[in-house]
């Protein structure tokens, strides 16, 4: 069952705002994922197995070695995964 209430609605809205924010997709993805982690920790949203998998996929897409810049494929993967997470948030 999906989380309900003002805190859940605010967490979903904050994620979607970060996802759509101006700026680099990789940085937006990191900020959006951190916001979701905070929402899960506070109990505003419930972590689902599907969200866990998507967030794991996002973490892989955002991995980088020291000094390496991410762009291109990482940015496109981040945008794709963020859209999938946004859809799944209605179940969280």
Residue-range domain boundaries for the chain: 6-91
Q: What is the mean pLDDT of residues 38-45?
A: 95
Using a cut of 0.85, tell me whether the model's pTM lies above it.
Answer: no
Residues 6+ apart with CB under 8 A from 7: 39, 42, 43, 44
Q: What whole-number percentage of the chain has pLDDT above 70?
A: 89
Q: Quick: pLDDT tens for 73-92.
A: 778 888 899 999 999 998 87
Whether residue 1 is predicted with pLDDT greater than 70 in this model: the reply is no
Whether residue 49 is predicted with pLDDT greater than 60 in this model: the reply is yes
Whether residue 82 contacts residue 35, with contact meaning beta carbons closer than 8 Å, is answered with no
């Amino acid at each position: 069952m999906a989380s309900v209430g003002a805190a859940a609605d605010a967490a979903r809205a904050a994620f979607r705002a970060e996802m759509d924010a101006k700026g680099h997709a990789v940085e937006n993805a990191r900020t959006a994922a951190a916001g979701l982690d905070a929402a899960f920790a506070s109990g505003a949203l419930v972590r689902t197995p599907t969200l866990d998998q998507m967030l794991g996929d996002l973490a892989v897409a955002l991995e980088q070695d020291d000094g390496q810049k991410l762009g291109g494929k990482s940015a496109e993967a981040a945008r794709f995964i963020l859209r999938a997470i946004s859809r799944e948030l209605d179940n969280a």
